A and B are shown apart, each in its own frame.
Chain A
Amino acid sequence: MNAIVELPPTLIAALTRNAGVHGDRVAIRERDQGIWQEQNWRELHADVLAMAAALEARGVAAGHAVTVIGDNRSRLYAAMLAIAALRAFPVPVFPDVPPAELVQYTRHGAPDVAFAEDQEQVDKLLELRATIGRPALIIYDDGRGIAGYDAPGLLACESLLSEGRARLAAAPALGQELAGRAQPGDIAVLLHSSGTTGLPKGVPLTHANVIAGVGNATRGGFFKPGEEHYAYLPTAWVGDFMFTVGAGVLLHFTINIPERQETVLHDLREVAPTMYLAAPRAWDNMLTRLQVGIAETTAVKRALYNY
Chain B
Amino acid sequence: MTSSPPVRTHGLASAGAPGAALRPVVLACDNIDRSFGGLRALKNVSLAIREGEIFGLVGPNGSGKTTMVNVITGFYPPENGKVRLFGHDITRMKPYRVAQQSLARTFQNLALFRGMSVLENILLGRHVHMRPSALASLFYWVWAAKEEVAHRRIVEEIIDFMQLQDIRDLPVESIPPGLQKRVELARALAAEPKFLILDEPMAGMNQEEKEYIARFILDARDERGVSILLIEHHMDVVMSICDRVMVLSYGETIAEGKPREAIADPKVVAAYLGRRAALQAGVAA
Residues of chain A whose beta carbon lies under 8 Å from any beta carbon of chain B: 32-35, 71, 95-96, 119-120, 123, 126, 144-145, 147-151, 259-263, 266
Contacts and interface: CB of A to CB of B under 8 A. Distances in A.
B165 A259 contact: yes
Pick the 8 closest A-B CB pairs, nearest first. Answer: A262-B166, A33-B156, A148-B12, A150-B11, A263-B166, A34-B156, A259-B165, A120-B4
Contact of B159 (A34, A123, A144): A34
A215 B107 CA distance: 60
A147 B218 CA distance: 13
Given A96-B2, A144-B223, A147-B223, A263 B10 contact: no
B206 interface: no
Given A34-B156, A145-B222, A260 B13 contact: no
B190 to A, nearest CB: 14
Given A33-B156, A34-B156, A145-B223, A260 B166 contact: yes
B166 A151 contact: no
B157 interface: yes
Interface of B: 1-2, 4-5, 8-13, 153, 156-157, 159-161, 163, 165-166, 168-169, 215, 218-219, 222-223
Given A145-B222, A145-B223, A147-B223, A34 B13 contact: no
Given A34-B156, A120-B2, A144 B9 contact: no
B9 A34 contact: no
A121 to B, nearest CB: 10
Pick the most buried of B161, B163, B166, B218: most chain A CB atoms within 10 A of its CB.
B166
Given A123-B4, A145-B215, A259-B165, 18 more contacts: A32-B160, A33-B153, A34-B165, A96-B2, A123-B5, A126-B10, A145-B8, A145-B223, A148-B8, A148-B222, A150-B11, A151-B10, A151-B11, A260-B1, A260-B163, A262-B1, A262-B165, A266-B166
A259 B164 CA distance: 11
B1 to A, nearest CB: 7
A191 B9 CA distance: 30
Contacts of A119: 4
14 contacts: A32-B160, A33-B153, A35-B156, A95-B2, A96-B2, A120-B2, A123-B4, A123-B9, A145-B219, A145-B223, A151-B10, A259-B165, A263-B165, A263-B166
Given A262-B166, A263-B165, A144 B219 contact: yes
Nearest to A71: B1
A32 B4 CA distance: 21
B12 A144 contact: no
Given A260-B163, A262-B166, A123 B10 contact: yes
Given A33-B159, A260-B166, A266-B166, A149 B2 contact: no
Contacts of B12: 148-150
A151 B10 CA distance: 7
Contact of A147 (B1, B163, B166, B222): B222
A149 B219 contact: no
Contacts of B160: 32-33
A144 B5 CA distance: 15
Given A33-B156, A260-B166, A144 B4 contact: no
Given A34-B156, A120-B4, A261-B1, A149 B165 contact: no
Nearest to B2: A96
A176 B163 CA distance: 40
A263 B170 CA distance: 12
A259 B167 CA distance: 12
A33 B215 CA distance: 20
Contacts of B13: 148, 150
Given A95-B2, A126-B10, A144 B161 contact: yes
Nearest to A98: B2
Contacts of B223: 144-145, 147
A138 to B, nearest CB: 11
Contacts of B1: 71, 120, 260-262
A263 B163 CA distance: 11
Contacts of A71: 1
A149 B219 CA distance: 12
Nearest to A145: B219
Nearest to B158: A33
A149 B11 CA distance: 6
Nearest to B168: A34
A89 B18 CA distance: 45
Nearest to B153: A33
Contacts of A148: 8, 12-13, 222
A33 B153 CA distance: 8
Contacts of A266: 166, 169
B214 to A, nearest CB: 12
Contacts of B163: 260
Nearest to B219: A145
A119 to B, nearest CB: 7
A262 B219 CA distance: 22
Nearest to A95: B2
B206 to A, nearest CB: 18
A33 B157 CA distance: 6
B161 to A, nearest CB: 7
Contacts of A145: 8, 215, 218-219, 222-223
Contacts of A34: 156, 159, 165, 168
Contacts of B10: 123, 126, 149-151
